[in-house]
Structure 1
Amino acid sequence: MAELVPGAEAPDFTLPRDGGGTISLSGFRGKPVVLFFYPKDDTEACTLEAKDFTAAKPDFDAAGVALIGLSPDPVKKHDKFVKKYELGVPLASDESLETLEAYGVWKEKSMYGRTYMGVERTTVLIDAKGKIAEVWSKVKVKGHVDAVLDAAKKL
């Protein structure tokens, strides 16, 4: 597991994505990337986060920053999620959990006294050279996208 600290190399990945094909972090070299890890398609907070990033995409585009959402859900589920909410950000599928583990966001969680493994909602801002610029852990969705956009604009 990589240590998610500013200045560290962001782990590269190539994963299947919504709409078919694959998406790779290295394919964005030369451009900053916002990688947002979320637990599950079509759940309340995850839907809100994906819709917020979609709504802000023109602002990220204007700042020259790419957006990628990533969860362990299969591509078919991503396709339904994108269609249902007209999402405009690419969603990568990590069913093997390798990338989620490489970024240290696959963690033990607990709900209603039950512990289970799942994605800790985390956003990582990666600079144009592939280094981690900023990390937001245990993200609270409300207002989060604005904070990420402000940080991205400073790169």
Structure 2
Amino acid sequence: MLETGTKAPDFELPDQNGNMHKLSDYAGKKVILYFYPKDNTAGCTKQACGFSERYPLFTEKGAVILGVSKDSVASHKRFEEKYGLAFTLLADPERKVIEAYDVWKEKKNYGKVSMGVVRTTYLIDENEIIIKANDKVKAADDPENMLKELT
């Protein structure tokens, strides 16, 4: 996980519609950049729907939400449409940004060890500085916790 107080790495990734996004596109806004393991899984769906339900509250506070996983653009599009998600999902199948943000780690699940995305949320300020980093994310609580960070 990257440390608070450090400059967030810039990136360029496609969204669920194939449009390219850079972190620098959001200069002057706070960015909630959250990394999640996989589209359409229980925890990831709870987290995404929680952010989507609160999306107007985030925009009122001048914040942008960007969700990142290693799923494809097509997978993100299906995920967005299935749940009516109101924010941008970024596809990183080559894990370049996932690795730049240090969230590709060894994980243990039911005794099995494998590499994967560790659910992590970063709050990045208007100057692209990481002001909050959390790798102990509880999917259902993350949206409300991040909203509180903005007040």
For normalisation by structure 1, the TM-score amounts to 0.94
Separation of aligned partners in 1, 2:82 and 2:3? 35
Amino acid paired to 1:95: P
Determine the C-alpha separation between the residues in 2 that align with 1:135 and 1:143: 15
Instruction: Encode CA deviations 1:8-66: one digit per residue, 9 max, x unaligned.
Output: 00011000110121111110011110001000000000001000000111000000001
What is the 5 A alignment of 1:15-54? 15-54=13-52
- Contact 2:70-2:91 at 8 Å conserved across structures: yes
Gaps of 5+ in 1: none
Is 1:139 the counterpart of 2:137? The answer is yes
| Match among 98, 105, 111 for residue 107 of structure 1 | 105
The total of aligned residue pairs comes to: 151
Query: Quick one: distance in 2 between partners of 1:23 and 1:49?
Result: 21
> Runs of 4+ in structure 1 displaced over 2 angstroms?
none
Matched to 1:129, the amino acid is: N
Percentage of pairs with the same residue = 42
Query: Counterpart of 1:130?
Result: 128
Partner SS, residue 149 of structure 1: helix
- Helix, strand or coil: the match of 2:150? helix
* Mapping for residues 72-87 of structure 1, pairs under 5 Å: 72-87=70-85
**TM-score, normalised to structure 2's length?**
0.97
Report what 1:98 is aligned to: 96
Letter in 2 for 1:70: V
Match status 1:149 vs 2:147 = yes
Unaligned runs of at least 5 residues, structure 2: none
Paired with 1:103 and 1:143, the residues of 2 have a C-alpha distance of 21
- Match for residue 61 of structure 1? 59
SS at structure 2 position matched to 1:109 = strand
Report deviation, 1:118.
0.6
CA-based RMSD of the aligned residues comes to 1.0
The CA distance in 2 between the partners of 1:142 and 1:49, in whole Å, is 5
- Matches of 1:43 and 1:117 in 2, distance apart? 17
